[in-house]
Structure 1
Amino acid sequence: MLLCDIGNTNIKIYNDGLVQIVSQEELLSYQDQRLFYLSVHPSLQSFPDCKKWINLEPFVSVKSSYNGLGVDRKALCSLVDEGTVIDAGSAITVDVMQDNIHTGGFIYPGKKAFFEAFRNISPRLDFSYQDILKDRLPQETRSALSYGFIAPLVALVEKLPKPWYVTGGDGGLLLQYLPDAIYRPHMIFEAMKQIIQRNGLC
């Protein structure tokens, strides 16, 4: 089964258990194959020349009163009856499911965006992330920035219902501070498979 997750930053192809990041040009090399996709990229929503491709967005459903919930977040939440879904990508989205209903969520800057914001404030704040001890106040700038990124996020998540499901490119980083979390690196593809099966698309 060929699946594609088109994000704001990366395009990921899932092919029989293998995941790779591809360019837009490489993506179009699959145009003659049957491919199921989800896209949050504003300029990559439809592909008129790819007759065998199926956009799964119309088939994604989750009970929610949240206005503007992205299709990627909906898809992830559709896998979960109870708990919290943390998708650590370009932005970090956190969504809560209770009794199979999406009860709300929030969006936090992704790691790259967070550090770029400080870099734009001053060259003296041009640092990359480093692991920190979240229960100890930092004593130098790089640690202070890293603390400012991870500690508030972890504190917010710790107040939310378990189980915590972590996915996304920076998901591994969060696991260091949320040891009880369940890491599902390919959760979006799990969701897509379930959507395909539920709707008899394959």
Structure 2
Amino acid sequence: MRILVDAGNTSTKWQLRHGGDVVDGGQGDLRDLRAWVSALGGVRDSVVAVSCVRDDAYALELNEVFESVNPDQLHFAVSSAAFAGVRNAYEEPYRLGVDRWLALLAIKARGEESAVIIDVGTACTIDVMDDGQHLGGYIFPGMALARDALVSNTDKIRFSKHPDPSISPGTDTAGCVLSGVWLTLLATCQHVIDRFPDSKVYLTGGSAKELGALGVGGERVDGLVFDGLDFWLNGA
């Protein structure tokens, strides 16, 4: 059994895998994770792998959660110069966000050597890999972050709770902001895709569905960090 944990900037997710299959999982805060771990029962000897982009204090709390499971088989993933034929573009490899590194490894595990990986979350990241060589990437605000930055100093703009994504011209200020942000995301992603026409495109993250609906082509995939952790564990 393997317990895989993806501690992102805004949420923590976890999976229990057996033989590569997901048999359980969840999402929430540390309290939820502790409750889930406490209920594991017969799988307390599982190998644990963690991807954490939060600060050291949060990583320490995660460590404490899993000390009761199998402290000798607790692994925190780190970015490295190379792994399984994937080569890191960073001069200081450990500075590449481990979630981005694991996404690259997940694509490698799928048998793909050249790819554009677009992760549309709180921040939007794009990483490019060519024949196993990570060429580097881009980081820019995601939908909510960009929207909030534009209206942070005014209380006169009101947004609908769940507006449909659109790149049509807005007919009120809120609509203009939303359309502008979506258009910026779409244009940026499409520009990168056009620069690397021979690479397969993968879309992941909380806004991947919306971005795909607006015209960004690519295969939608979920759980790349989990898949990367599983692959990384095989050689850890």
Q: TM-score, normalising length from structure 1?
A: 0.85
**Partner-residue secondary structure (3-state), 1:130:** coil
Please identify the structure whose Cα radius of gyration is greater: 2
Report the Cα distance in structure 1 between the residues aligned to 2:7 and 2:146, rounded to whole angstroms. Answer: 22
Distance change in 2, residues 1:33/1:44 (3 Å):
farther
Match among 24, 29, 32 for residue 23 of structure 1: 29
How is 1:1-202 mapped onto 2 (pairs within 5 angstroms)? 1-16=2-17, 17=22, 18-29=24-35, 30=37, 32=44, 34=46, 35-42=48-55, 43-46=57-60, 47=63, 50=67, 51=71, 52-57=73-78, 61=83, 62-66=86-90, 68-80=95-107, 81-127=113-159, 130-134=163-167, 136-159=168-191, 160=193, 161=196, 162-178=199-215, 180-197=217-234, 199=235
Distance change in 2, residues 1:64/1:137 (3 Å):
same
Distance change in 2, residues 1:171/1:97 (3 Å):
same
Q: TM-score, normalising length from structure 2?
A: 0.74
Stretches of structure 2 lacking an aligned partner (at least 5 in a row):
39-43, 108-112
**Partner-residue secondary structure (3-state), 1:45:** helix
Distance change in 2, residues 1:167/1:19 (3 Å):
farther
Q: Any conservation in 1 of the 2:120–2:142 contact (CA below 8 Å)? A: yes
Q: Any conservation in 2 of the 1:131–1:146 contact (CA below 8 Å)? A: no
Report the Cα distance in structure 2 between the residues aligned to 1:178 and 1:130, rounded to whole angstroms. Answer: 17
Report the Cα distance in structure 1 between the residues aligned to 2:123 and 2:175, rounded to whole angstroms. Answer: 21
TM-aligned CA deviation for residue 4 of structure 1: 0.6
Paired-residue identity, %: 22
Stretches of structure 1 lacking an aligned partner (at least 5 in a row):
none
CA-based RMSD: 2.4
